Amino acid sequence: MQLSLAAITFAALSPCWDAHMNFKIRTPELCLIRFCVRDQTGILSSEFVGQYTLPFTSLKKGYCWVPLCSRDGCSLDPASLFVLVWYS
């Protein structure tokens, strides 16, 4: 399953999406969560900025920093996402 958020304009250094996403996960031990950031360069085009993938079972409830990596897995420090994880 893939969900996308609307592009944020005029907030190049610290965009804020403030969005909620809900998933039904039937087998959490097989689930991977991938964060992928893209820069919208045109109406129908975008450039890859960074990504991070982790097993769902490693997510803890609460706020956390998600570090971003390049396509080949190299750290893009200090690039990161600040997310709130909550599940029941």
Task: Give residue-wise pLDDT tens across range 27-49.
Answer: 999 999 999 988 877 777 888 99
For 28-85, which CATH class? Answer: mainly beta
Query: Is-contact 64 83, C-beta < 8 A?
Result: yes
The Cα 35–Cα 2 span in angstroms is: 10
Give yes or no for residue 11 having a pLDDT over 80. Answer: no
50: exposed, middle or buried (C-beta count within 10 Å: 0-12, 13-18, 19+)?
buried
> Do the beta carbons of residue 14 and residue 31 sit within 8 Å?
no
Look at residue 87 in the predicted model and tell me its pLDDT. 85
Domain ranges of the chain: 28-85
The 3-state DSSP class for residue 57 equals: helix
Task: Write the pLDDT tens digit of every residue in 68-77.
Answer: 999 999 999 9
Please report the pLDDT score of residue 75 as a whole number: 95
Mean pLDDT of 62-88: 93
Q: Please state whether 18 falls in left (phi above 0), alpha (psi between -120 and 50) or beta.
A: left
